[in-house]
Amino acid sequence: MIQVAITLFGLLLLTFFIGRVMPIDPVLAIVGPDADQSTYQQVYHQLGFDQSLMQQFGIYFVNLLHGDLGNALLTGKPVLDDIIRVFPATMELATMAIIVGAGLGIPLGVLAAARRNSFSDYVVRIISLAGYSTPIFWVGMMGLLVFYAWLGWVGGAGRVDLGLDGIVPRRTGLMTVDALLAGNSEVFWNAINHLVLPARAAGLPLAGLHQPYDPQLYAGAAVAGVHYHGASERAHRTPGYLESRLP
């Protein structure tokens, strides 16, 4: 717990000082370029910028304890409001990434377990290594270039096409769920089309969770039960792999 507290405090310090050295005026981002000097000075004083750096950090820390994350430098809006606004989209993408990553990684792991030291096993190991070592941002950019710009198979930026944005009423914030609740299949499939590429890029490390299969896993309870009932050598490797993936 002490290490966690020290780490969190270090992150707070880092976040605070990064916000102070950025070449963006946080006061101007809040009041806007058309604000007069008196308004600017008032907000400048409210944020504590006329105090010492240590006092500013104290104000920053106390505000965090009260749930006040401050205002975003780019939007000028409260950070908590921005987080609440984008959280459903983040949750939707994360869920889809888990589905895509597990849907690809588990079958590949089972295939490698069933055909250990075969050509298929080596191919899966290469895919696993690529999943761990390839930067997600590079996969995303290459995916946009190939599958969106060149082939036009998937959607580009945004959660849906511009012509469909705003058609479905916002209920949960999850575009796919809101489309289903509204009974709009066009928006649903368009949202899925926009999710495929980023979900595949984000799910690539999860798909690479396969590790070389350990023959000692044959001694597991699941494997012993399958082998006892006369299953083939290949068949009893699959539950051994699945058992090894469980926490």
Domain boundaries, the chain: 1-77, 80-208
Most confident residue range from 7-16, 44-53, 67-76? 7-16
Distance CA 156, CA 144 (A): 7
Confidence of residue 181 (pLDDT cuts 50, 70, 90): very high
Task: Give the Cβ contact number of residue 20 at 10 Å.
Answer: 13
Angle at 35 between CA 34 and CA 38, to 5 degrees: 155
Which neighbouring-strand residues pair with 71?
A: 78
Instruction: Compare 134 and 221 and report the one with higher pLDDT.
Output: 134
Among 165-169, 186-190, 205-209, the range scoring the smallest mean pLDDT is 205-209
Instruction: Compare 49 and 172 and report the one with higher pLDDT.
Output: 172
Instruction: Assess contact for 194 and 176: CB atoms under 8 A.
Output: no
Confidence of residue 180 (pLDDT cuts 50, 70, 90): very high
- Type of residue found at 102: A
Quick one: pLDDT at residue 37? 85
Confidence of residue 210 (pLDDT cuts 50, 70, 90): low
**Does residue 244 carry a pLDDT above 70?**
no
Percentage of the chain surpassing pLDDT 70?
82
Task: Please name the residues in contact with 172: beta carbons below 8 A apart, sequence gap of 6 or more.
Answer: 88, 178, 181
Instruction: Compare 144 and 232 and report the one with higher pLDDT.
Output: 144
Quick one: pLDDT at residue 216? 47
Quick one: pLDDT at residue 185? 92
The whole-chain average pLDDT of the chain stands at 78
Quick one: pLDDT at residue 176? 92
Model pLDDT for residues 108-143, shown as the tens digit of each residue: 777 777 777 778 778 878 877 777 778 888 888 888
Among 95-104, 127-136, 168-177, the range scoring the smallest mean pLDDT is 127-136
Judged by DSSP in three states, 220 sits in coil
Q: Which two tokens stand for residue 240?
A: 């051994």
What is the average per-residue pLDDT within 85-89? 91
Among 10-14, 17-21, 29-33, 218-222, the range scoring the smallest mean pLDDT is 218-222
What global pTM score does this model have?
Answer: 0.67
Instruction: Assess contact for 29 and 73: CB atoms under 8 A.
Output: yes
Instruction: Compare 147 and 234 and report the one with higher pLDDT.
Output: 147
Quick one: pLDDT at residue 227? 52
